[in-house]
Amino acid sequence: MKISKKQYVGNVRDLKVYGKALQFHKVIYEIVESLPDYERYNLSDMLRRSCSSMVANLAEGNTNFYYKKEYNHLNMVLSKIGECRSALDISRMAGYISESEYKNVDFKSEEILKMVIGMMRRTDRYLDNELDLDKAETFHKSTILPIDISEVHKKVTTLNSLISDLVLQYPITERNNMKDQITRAAKSTLENLNNSKKSSYSQAYLDLNTALGSISETLAFCDISIMQGYITKSQYDEINNLGTEILDLVIDLMNQVNKEKDEEVY
Amino acid sequence: MKRVENFRDFQLYLRSMYLTRESYEVIHVCKEDLTDKEVALIRKMAITIPIKIASAVGQVNMKLRFKNLNNAKSIVIQLRATLLEFNKKKKVDDHSFTRIDGYLEDILKLLHGYFWWISNEKAK
């Protein structure tokens, strides 16, 4: 039996590479601060967007049930690392950063690159090899609970309104970057949740899976926001707690969809 | 899994970096004749080309590679047209234009070669 679906999703914050990506993001933002004003809408914007997207893709890839999707998101991370490294090459060439600064940040990016390639190789094995599902991995299954979708819907709506208020605090430099991306991710969660109500079982599962990725992406942007000091600790805690609750509820909903599908088949 | 290439080993990337350096040089030389908007336009296009190439080469999805390289190609063409226009308006001198145009020509040739290679890979 070919395995294309994961048995469980882990917490992206437990990944070493995620921590390294956040540290890299911090260093990049420090470099961006030192770039001249005329690069604000060119190089600075590119660097900001690429490194934020890198963190978000890592989170979205890790928090979904399909290996193929994880692989694609990890590939996007590679692409974004390439963008960051190229922008750093330009910064060095233009003399905006010193050689030691460049070497230090390039080493960090290479470290992340190697870790992501390792993760892709691992994921690729699941895509290539035909393994016995039972022997593949030991896993724990979430308990199947009878959850009404309206409960998740209510929580996601609350999260959306919290995010809408939150983005007003973001600096103007984040207008085309994090402000847009966090709003889009939060909206995508709600849209996919709504779509799952009207879909067939397999489509509902896919929609919920996308919603799961989007919520994880939203939380990744919150991690960046607190790190950059755009939001307060209490705001972060509020969003983080709500986001974690939504993640658990969506995973339970997915199990429910799976169970209902099995009952219909047999 | 396909091998992840180091984009810095690619002639295409190196030439695009030379192009960026040359474009910055032109901006420096001709800054009195160019408006702020024109300078920003050249700068944006000059930095986008190597970034798109790095983004394309540094990952393993062939469709994404093709898409990003195609974007890079259209920016190369746009930059060429923009600089030609500035050259006609005597905002960019002939010497600077010829130098940049040489790099643009090289990049286009290398891009076409790369597209041909991608098509061959697909056929395999």
Percent residues over pLDDT 70 in chain A: 87
Instruction: Kindly report which listed range (A18-32, A38-52, A146-160, B48-62) carries the lowest average pLDDT score.
Output: A146-160
- Over residues A65-69, mean pLDDT: 90
- Over residues A79-106, mean pLDDT: 95
- Residues near A125 by beta carbon (within 8 Å), at least 6 away in sequence: none
Nearest to B58 among A43, A82, A90 (CB): A82
pLDDT at A181 over 60: yes
pLDDT tens for residues A103-115? 999 999 999 999 9
pLDDT tens for residues B9-46? 999 999 999 999 999 999 999 888 999 999 999 999 99
Neighbour-count burial for A182-198, b at 16+ CB within 10 Å, e otherwise: bbebbbbbbebbebbee
CA distance B88 to chain A (A): 26
What sign does the dihedral A134-A140-A146-A151 (CA atoms) show?
Answer: negative
Nearest to B7 among A42, A76, A82 (CB): A82
pLDDT given for residue A56 in this prediction: 95
Q: What SS3 class is residue B2?
A: coil
Q: Give the residue carrying structure tokens 């080993």.
A: B9
pLDDT given for residue A219 in this prediction: 94
Question: Quick check: A86 and B53 CB within 8 A?
Answer: yes
Instruction: Kindly report which listed range (A16-20, A128-132, A244-248) carries the lowest average pLDDT score.
Output: A128-132
B50 to chain A: which residues are within 8 Å by CB?
A: 86, 89-90
- Over residues B54-79, mean pLDDT: 94
B44 to chain A: which residues are within 8 Å by CB?
A: 41-42
pLDDT given for residue A137 in this prediction: 40
Which among B4, B9, B15, B66 is the top mutation candidate for probing chain A, defined by the most A β-carbons within 10 Å of its own β-carbon?
Answer: B4
pTM of the entire structure?
0.89
Nearest to A93 among B13, B21, B55 (CB): B21
Question: Quick check: A75 and B64 CB within 8 A?
Answer: yes
Closest residue in B to A37 (Cα) is B40
First to last CA, chain A: 19
Question: Quick check: A42 and B44 CB within 8 A?
Answer: yes
Q: What is the DSSP letter of A38?
A: G
pLDDT given for residue A140 in this prediction: 38
- Over residues A183-191, mean pLDDT: 92
Question: Quick check: A85 and B58 CB within 8 A?
Answer: yes
Q: What is the residue-averaged pLDDT of chain B?
A: 92
Confidence at A64, pLDDT banded by 50, 70, 90: confident
Question: Quick check: A90 and B20 CB within 8 A?
Answer: yes
pLDDT given for residue A143 in this prediction: 41
ipTM for the predicted complex: 0.94
Q: What is the dihedral of CA A53, A20, A219, A29, to 10 degrees?
A: -60
Question: Quick check: B64 and A79 CB within 8 A?
Answer: yes
Nearest to A83 among B8, B17, B51 (CB): B51
Confidence at A53, pLDDT banded by 50, 70, 90: very high
Residue bearing the bigger pLDDT, A200 or A48: A48
B43 to chain A: which residues are within 8 Å by CB?
A: 38-39, 42
pLDDT given for residue A264 in this prediction: 54
Count the neighbouring beta carbons within 10 Å of the beta carbon of residue B24.
18
CA–CA dist A231, B109 (Å, integer): 48
What distances in angstroms separate CA B70 from CA A31, A152, B55, B81, one per listed residue? 30, 42, 12, 17
Confidence at A265, pLDDT banded by 50, 70, 90: very low
Q: What is the residue-averaged pLDDT of chain A?
A: 86
Instruction: Kindly report which listed range (A23-27, A108-112, A139-143) carries the lowest average pLDDT score.
Output: A139-143
pLDDT at A1 over 70: no
What number of C-beta contacts closer than 8 Å exist between A and B? 72
Question: Quick check: B1 and A113 CB within 8 A?
Answer: no
